[in-house]
C-alpha cells in the first residue's frame, strides 16, 4: 500500500515488520528498524500504476519469526542454507551490481535452493532522473547497500506453508524456431536457431523481431522470460542471463498488457498474496501507469526473483 514518508516512519517506530520500496532519497532518510527495502519509483497499486519519488510502497509482514542478513558475492551461496526450514525469504539486489550478476548466473546451483522459498527483486532507479543509485536497504542496521544483497528470512508456524508462483503473460509461439546457446551469460553474440549457428543480432535485424518481447525459455514446461536490454556492436545484451541447455522461443505478441494481466490474475481467483512484484518492462511497454491490474500489487522492479532471476514477469508469494 502506498504511504507517505511520515506514515512509513510511524510504522517503523511501531516496530512493524515491513517491506518498503521507494526512491533512494526517501529510503536513506527512513529510521532503522524491522524493515527491508529497495529503490524504485514505479509502483503497481490499487487505483493504478504510479511513478513517484514522493511515496513509498509499504507491505506489512505479520510474522513473528524473522532475521535480517546481507550477502556479498562470496556469501551468497549460503542464502538458502540461512533461510528458515519452513518459511520464505525476500531478497533485494541492486541493479547492475556484482551480486546481481552472481545471483543471476548461479542461483539455481546454490545448495538446497529449491527446498526453500526465495522471492525478491532487483532495485532500480527512475529512468528519467539523473544521479540516482540502485540500493537495497537492510533496515535493521540502516545500511544502504550498493554491492550487497539485503535479505529478510521469515519463519512460518507449523501447519503453514509458503507457495511461490508467477504470472507470465507471454507464451512461447509454437511456430517459433528453437533458439539455444552454447554458454550462459548476459551478453551473447551467437546462438543456434533450429540448430544452425547464427549471429543473434543479425537474426533479430533480418527478421525484424520486436525486442520489447522476451525470449521464453522452456524450463521443463514453465515459460521463463529473458528480455533484451540493448544491441551494441553485434552483441545482444539481456536483463538476465541465457543458459546453455535451455530451449528459448519467440513469444506470441501481446495486444494489450492490461487485458492480459486481468485475464491471468482473474484466472487465479482470490489470491491473498503476502508479496508481489512486477517488471518495469511490463510497466513501460504495457503502459501500466494509471492502470489497475486488479490485484497482486507491489513494486515495479528491474528484475524479479522466484528462486532464479526472471524478466517481464509478475512474482507473488502466498501462505497456505
Partner 1 sequence: MKLTDAQTKKLLDYKGQPQLKQLSLNMALTRLKGIYKSNPAPETLSKCTADLNALLEKFAVIMQADFEWIVSLK
Instruction: Tell me which residues touch partner 1 (CB under 8 A).
Output: 108-109, 114-115, 117, 161, 163-166, 218-222, 224, 244-246, 306-308, 320
Q: Are 315 and 294 in contact (CB under 8 A)?
A: no
- Looking at beta carbons only, is 112 or 230 nearer to partner 1? 112
Q: How far is it, in rounded angstroms, from Cα 248 to Cα 252? A: 13
Q: What is the DSSP letter of 116?
A: S
Q: What is the DSSP letter of 76?
A: G
* Smallest distance from partner 1 to CB 216, Å: 13
- Looking at beta carbons only, is 163 or 211 nearer to partner 1? 163
* Smallest distance from partner 1 to CB 220, Å: 4
Q: Which residues pair with 49 in a beta bridge?
A: 44, 289
- Looking at beta carbons only, is 134 or 223 nearer to partner 1? 223
- Looking at beta carbons only, is 114 or 237 nearer to partner 1? 114
- Looking at beta carbons only, is 145 or 215 nearer to partner 1? 215
Q: How far is it, in rounded angstroms, from Cα 243 to Cα 184? A: 4
CA dihedral 71, 21, 162, 159 (to 10 degrees): 100
* Smallest distance from partner 1 to CB 243, Å: 8
Local structure of 45: helix, strand or coil: strand
- Looking at beta carbons only, is 10 or 222 nearer to partner 1? 222
* Smallest distance from partner 1 to CB 134, Å: 25
- Looking at beta carbons only, is 97 or 117 nearer to partner 1? 117
* Smallest distance from partner 1 to CB 222, Å: 4
Q: How far is it, in rounded angstroms, from Cα 272 to Cα 295? A: 9
Q: How far is it, in rounded angstroms, from Cα 60 to Cα 1? A: 9
Please give the C-alpha separations between residue 265 and each of 39, 189, 261, 272, 285, in angstroms, as whole numbers: 25, 36, 6, 12, 19
- Looking at beta carbons only, is 91 or 145 nearer to partner 1? 91
* Smallest distance from partner 1 to CB 221, Å: 4
* Smallest distance from partner 1 to CB 299, Å: 20
- Looking at beta carbons only, is 97 or 308 nearer to partner 1? 308
Please give the C-alpha separations between residue 309 and each of 27, 71, 87, 100, 243, in angstroms, as whole numbers: 24, 16, 20, 9, 12
Local structure of 2: helix, strand or coil: strand
Nearest to 279 by CA among 43, 58, 108: 43
* Smallest distance from partner 1 to CB 30, Å: 33
* Smallest distance from partner 1 to CB 245, Å: 5
DSSP H or E segment with residue 97: none
The residue assigned the cell 539481456 is 238
Residue 58 φ/ψ region, left for φ over 0, alpha for ψ in the -120 to 50 degree band, beta for the rest: beta
Amino acid at each position: 500500500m502506498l504511504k507517505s514518508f511520515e506514515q512509513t516512519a510511524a510504522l517503523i517506530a511501531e516496530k512493524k515488520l515491513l517491506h518498503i520500496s521507494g526512491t533512494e532519497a526517501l529510503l536513506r532518510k527512513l529510521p532503522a528498524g524491522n524493515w527491508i527495502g529497495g529503490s524504485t519509483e514505479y509502483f503497481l497499486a490499487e487505483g493504478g500504476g504510479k511513478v513517484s519519488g514522493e511515496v513509498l510502497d509499504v507491505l506489512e509482514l505479520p510474522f513473528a519469526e524473522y532475521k535480517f542478513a546481507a550477502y556479498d558475492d562470496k556469501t551468497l551461496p549460503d542464502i538458502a542454507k540461512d533461510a528458515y526450514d519452513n518459511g520464505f525469504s525476500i531478497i533485494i539486489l541492486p541493479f547492475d551490481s556484482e551480486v546481481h550478476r552472481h545471483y543471476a548466473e548461479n542461483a539455481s546451483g546454490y545448495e538446497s535452493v529449491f527446498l526453500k522459498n526465495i522471492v525478491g527483486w532487483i532495485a532500480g532507479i527512475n529512468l528519467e532522473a539523473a544521479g540516482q543509485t540502485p540500493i537495497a536497504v537492510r533496515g535493521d542496521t540502516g545500511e544502504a547497500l550498493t554491492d550487497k544483497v539485503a535479505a529478510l528470512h521469515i519463519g512460518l508456524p507449523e501447519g503453514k506453508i509458503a507457495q511461490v508462483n508467477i504470472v507470465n503473460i507471454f507464451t512461447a509461439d509454437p511456430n517459433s524456431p528453437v533458439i539455444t546457446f552454447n554458454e550462459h551469460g548476459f551478453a551473447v553474440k551467437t546462438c543456434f536457431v533450429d540448430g544452425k549457428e547464427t549471429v543473434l543480432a543479425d537474426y533479430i535485424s533480418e527478421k525484424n523481431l520486436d525486442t520489447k518481447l522476451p525470449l521464453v525459455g522452456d524450463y521443463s514446461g514453465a515459460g521463463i522470460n529473458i528480455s533484451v536490454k540493448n544491441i551494441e556492436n553485434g552483441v545482444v545484451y539481456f536483463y538476465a542471463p541465457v543458459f546453455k541447455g535451455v530451449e528459448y522461443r519467440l513469444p506470441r505478441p501481446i495486444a494489450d498488457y492490461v487485458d492480459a494481466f486481468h485475464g491471468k490474475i482473474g484466472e487465479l481467483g482470490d489470491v491473498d498474496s503476502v508479496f508481489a512484484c512486477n517488471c518495469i518492462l511490463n510497466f513501460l511497454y504495457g503502459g501500466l501507469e494509471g492502470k489497475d491490474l486488479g490485484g497482486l500489487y507491489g513494486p515495479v522492479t528491474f528484475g524479479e526473483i522466484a528462486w532464479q532471476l526472471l524478466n517481464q514477469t509478475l512474482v507473488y508469494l502466498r501462505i497456505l
